[in-house]
């Protein structure tokens, strides 16, 4: 970050999109965090929107793939939760906070809106 993950011509966003596309094509394992999560989810067809109020340095309790975790958030944009899109894409491992998709996991990737490396993420190393 920072930046608008949906901006079609921003050079930084284009580079991240290209790297993610290459990783997906090669079926290499990868991790997306925050802005990367937003760009990745947008490439999958999820809506990414600017939040009415940014969450900068906010700790939230999240059901993360079956375990409750205290996680640190620092974001001005978010991915909208879309259960139908998640099911149609075959994603069984999702984490939702209110109406936001904050975690997505599959055999070749994990994608998080929160920062597992943050001091606010109490078990960040275990989450990774």
User: What 8-state DSSP symbol labels residue 22?
Assistant: H
Annotated catalytic residue 100: no
Beta-strand runs (E) in 43-99: 48-64, 67-79, 93-97
Is there a catalytic annotation at residue 34? yes
Active-site residue among 32, 34, 41, 78?
Answer: 34
User: Which one of the listed residues 7, 18, 21, 117 is annotated catalytic?
Assistant: 117
Distance, CA of 69 to CA of 88 (rounded, Å): 27
Clarify whether 32 is annotated catalytic: no
**From the candidates 60, 69, 81, 115, which is the catalytic residue?**
115
Q: How far apart are CA 79 and CA 57, in angstroms?
A: 18
- Interatomic CA distance for residues 4 and 2, integer angstroms: 7
Residues assigned a catalytic role? 34, 115, 117
């Amino acid at each position: 970050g920072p930046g608008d993950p949906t901006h079609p011509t921003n050079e930084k966003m284009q580079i991240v999109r290209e790297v993610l596309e290459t990783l997906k094509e090669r079926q290499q394992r990868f991790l997306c965090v925050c802005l990367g999560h937003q760009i990745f989810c947008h490439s999958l067809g999820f809506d990414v929107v600017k939040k009415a109020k940014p969450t900068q340095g906010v700790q939230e309790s999240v059901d993360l793939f079956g375990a409750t975790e205290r996680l640190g958030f620092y974001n001005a944009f978010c991915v909208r939760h879309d259960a139908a899109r998640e099911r149609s894409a075959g994603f069984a491992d999702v984490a939702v906070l209110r109406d936001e998709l904050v975690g997505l996991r599959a055999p070749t990737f994990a994608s998080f809106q929160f920062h597992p490396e943050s001091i606010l993420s109490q078990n960040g190393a275990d989450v990774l």
